[in-house]
Structure 1
Amino acid sequence: MCVALLVGCGGPAAPDAAPGDVRRLLDRRADALLDRDARAYRATGRETEATEDFDNLREVPLQSWQYRLTDFRRSGARATATADLRYRIKGYDSEPLTTSRALTLQERDGRWYVTAEGPAKKATQQLWDQGPVTSVRGAHSLVLGVGRGEEDETTLHEYADLADRAVPLVRDAWREKWPLRVVVMVPESLEGMAGLLGSPASGYQGIAAVTTGETGGSGAAPADRIIVNPEAYGVLGDFGKQVVLTHETTHVATRAHTSPATPLWLSEGFADWVGYRGTGRSAAQAAPELRRAVQRDELPAALPDDDAFGFSGDAGKLAQAYEGSWLACRMIADQWGEEPLTRFYEEVGTHKKKPGAVEDALREVLDITPQEFTERWRTYLREELG
């Protein structure tokens, strides 16, 4: 949502015009970081001599790093500023990721220096805000972790191995063009995950991983990140860990064909379908919550709506939403074929708004009405789980 701020009589004071030397200061700071020049970076923050951000980013392979000032307010020799930071990870981001940063500055001897930098108000943390980043490269993946000593590097290599197996699995199921590589971020804790997502930690308890990125059917997935909850992910077995990473990698692959019109039952169900594809898991094994509901004669009346996927709700209902969505996509693959399933996904994603998107795609690709599809899905649930 875009909000225009209008300043009139009695309104907040307008920001000061940022002097050109402040803009040049941030340019020098960015260049020093890209050049890995600690001395030049330190020179941009003379008062504290601090290079914490520089050190925390030492192992992150950066392609670009650029600040654009959006606000500057001066009070004597001190100032506060906000800037849009646009950066790319080399070899992984086709377009820059943008985040808002808050800076404090001080003027000394006619020159400005940065004395502090961090997330702007309402902006999410970046991984390096949480500590020194450790980097592990896989064949198809880059794993970035914080709060981990050398002995924990083995754990990050395990994440890379899982992601490297996930990419070919997704490539085999989703034949459309995508980058065939993923960035996996591993914070130290659930609280660290929440900081990266800008939401309370309570909303992600029990959630093993999520994928961030912009939808819109733009034809590009510029900077997806798979963010792991090390507490929930760590208790999974090897099979569960692989399914989760394959599921999240599917979101990366399908991002360019996912739009605001794509319902969550389709995007999450398709990702689970890819995750379980070829594993031999039966519906009863992979959908235990929904199976119990069906056996209690509590068959869902309709496919889950987007609200059913809220992380802070009932865990059992959330599980049923995912399981029912997976079985809807599994049913399409079983009864129409895998290729019609991917075409159905793509067709829904060509719409910009939800009204009519699924209905049109069902008719266009599967030659069925929404009502007929729902009834066929309910019958499928009875047969597979009853």
Structure 2
Amino acid sequence: MVNQRGRLLAGVAALALVGTAGFVVATRSDQGVAPGGTAVAAEARKPGVDPAVRKRQLDAILAQRSTAVVKGDLKTFLAAVDPKQPKLVSRQKLLFTNLRKFQFASLRYFVADEREAPAQVDKFGPTTYSTRVMMRYRLTGLDPKPVQTDLGYTFVQRAGRWILVADDAIDETLSEDGHRQPWDYQEIAVVRKDKVVVVVDKREAALGKKIAQVSEDAVEGVRRHWPRPWNGAVMVVAMSEPRVLSTVWTAGTGAGWTIAAKAVTLYDGEPLGLKTVAPVGSRIVVNPAVRKDLEQDLLVHEMTHVATVPIGIRTPIWLVEGVAEYVRSHAIEDDPHWTVDPYRRTVRTKYLPSMKVLPGEAEFDQNGDRSYGQAWWATEYLASKLGKKGVAALYTDLALHDLSPTTYASIIKKHTGQTPAQLTAAVKKFKG
């Protein structure tokens, strides 16, 4: 049990960046064009092409493929795949096999915007058409509403029919976090336990069952210490493939910035650019290096993000991470054999004396360990002053407003009776 929950200080280091990645999804800002911006020039080089007709034809093919997934019809799913490319056919068969292991309440593919791919035109001829395709889906028991991601397909006209000739030619133009999904690589196993869904490599199904049990215990830990309703539905992806969901496992500039897991936020809307819609939910993605030694306290932290992100994404990072650490620490101390006292001592003696402000993005980037500790201590102070429900009310109020300095200060004052500077000073003095 010591190595199950005893990794208190090291755990904070391992969690650096987890929540930041958990509540704000990184998106590509270096495309140089808005979605669809390359289409006009491309169409000009294709006289006689009716974009509306082509879109209807491709959407019809994609609709047949989505229906085929739901019904388990492999023949229809592969009907438009180039039979001259055995590797492509094999990848598409594997995709179908993996998709069938999930329970889709709804699934729809549709053409979005063209992406220029000159190498594909050179390879397949003048009718070649590369496009982002949107996958809009809802997983039964997991997603309260549909979510949306993008993928890249290249089609060619042959004998009056559109044929899929490439499924990876324009990956660099797609959303970084969105388009790499668990079903896109090797064959998987999907393990379900109540409302927890765990995705692992097929050969690691036994590991999936172990993670499912740890995950279910973590769900209960979150429910005990986060007062807002949460149904406990969560997907944990613990595969050996590091490209899943474009997870970057090391980031930042300081020591201790190895990410053990992150909660990736899901939206129903355009995956590229700034998000203008409310988040739908999250998936937890585990670092392949730690998937076989996954600890409950790490999952409690991440599941707190899953439980809180539907409220909104405007809450400042100090409270987002502070709440996750607060829930994690109290879940650890549910077991009378464990204590977070070593963590408390470190925060009091090492992290609080240097605190000048409640940590923001810059502070987390400069020193993750210190910022997580300070954020946790601020949340402990707020819970002692406002109670858990009061902390949740503050979190919600901040999440639902555009936080100019004036609005932020006003909300802090309304809930605590203090200015942000006074709150910081009170946190530094708090003995716990």
TM class, shorter-length = 0.7 to 0.9
Aligned residue for 1:85, secondary structure, equals strand
Residues 77/341 of structure 1: CA separation in 2 closer, same or farther (3 Å cut): closer
Amino acid at match of 1:203: A
Q: C-alpha displacement at 1:160, in angstroms? A: 1.0
Corresponding residue for 1:22?
58
Corresponding residue for 1:88?
138
Residues 97/369 of structure 1: CA separation in 2 closer, same or farther (3 Å cut): same
Corresponding residue for 2:316?
263
Amino acid at match of 1:21: Q
**Partner Cα separation in structure 2 for residue 266 and residue 40 of structure 1:** 49
Are the aligned partners of 1:219 and 1:256 in contact in 2 as well (CA < 8 Å)?
no
Are the aligned partners of 1:82 and 1:120 in contact in 2 as well (CA < 8 Å)?
no
Unaligned runs of 5+ in 2: 1-26, 268-273
Correspondence for 2:71 among 30, 35, 38: 35
Correspondence for 1:249 among 287, 290, 303: 303
Residues 115/340 of structure 1: CA separation in 2 closer, same or farther (3 Å cut): same
Are the aligned partners of 1:166 and 1:245 in contact in 2 as well (CA < 8 Å)?
yes
Residues 123/336 of structure 1: CA separation in 2 closer, same or farther (3 Å cut): closer
How many percent identity over aligned positions? Answer: 24
Residues 235/144 of structure 1: CA separation in 2 closer, same or farther (3 Å cut): closer
Are the aligned partners of 1:265 and 1:305 in contact in 2 as well (CA < 8 Å)?
yes
**Partner Cα separation in structure 2 for residue 128 and residue 5 of structure 1:** 25
Aligned residue for 2:251, secondary structure, equals helix
Unaligned runs of 5+ in 1: none
Q: Which residues of 2 match residues 321-340 of structure 1 at below 5 A?
A: 321-340=371-390
**Partner Cα separation in structure 2 for residue 231 and residue 163 of structure 1:** 18
Q: C-alpha displacement at 1:266, in angstroms? A: 0.3
Aligned residue for 2:79, secondary structure, equals helix
Q: C-alpha displacement at 1:179, in angstroms? A: 3.5
Instruction: Work out whether 1:184 is the aligned partner of 2:236.
Output: yes
Residues 233/265 of structure 1: CA separation in 2 closer, same or farther (3 Å cut): farther
Amino acid at match of 1:181: A
Q: Residue deviations 1:243-286, cap 9 Å, x none?
A: 111111111111122332x1101001001111111533656422
Amino acid at match of 2:208: L
Deviates more, 1:365-374 or 1:133-142: 365-374
| Cα-Cα RMSD | 3.1
Q: C-alpha displacement at 1:234, in angstroms? A: 4.3
Give the number of equivalent residue pairs: 361
**Partner Cα separation in structure 2 for residue 289 and residue 35 of structure 1:** 56
Corresponding residue for 1:104?
154
Q: Which residues of 2 match residues 366-381 of structure 1 at below 5 A?
A: 366-380=416-430
**Partner Cα separation in structure 2 for residue 220 and residue 369 of structure 1:** 29
Corresponding residue for 2:110?
68
Q: C-alpha displacement at 1:154, in angstroms? A: 1.8
Amino acid at match of 1:202: T
Residues 288/202 of structure 1: CA separation in 2 closer, same or farther (3 Å cut): farther
Q: C-alpha displacement at 1:231, in angstroms? A: 1.3
**Taking CA–CA contacts closer than 8 Å with sequence separation of 6 or more, which of the two structures ends up with the larger relative contact order?**
2
Corresponding residue for 1:162?
214
Q: Residue deviations 1:135-157, cap 9 Å, x none?
A: 000112001123x40xx212111
Structure 1 length-normalised TM? 0.82
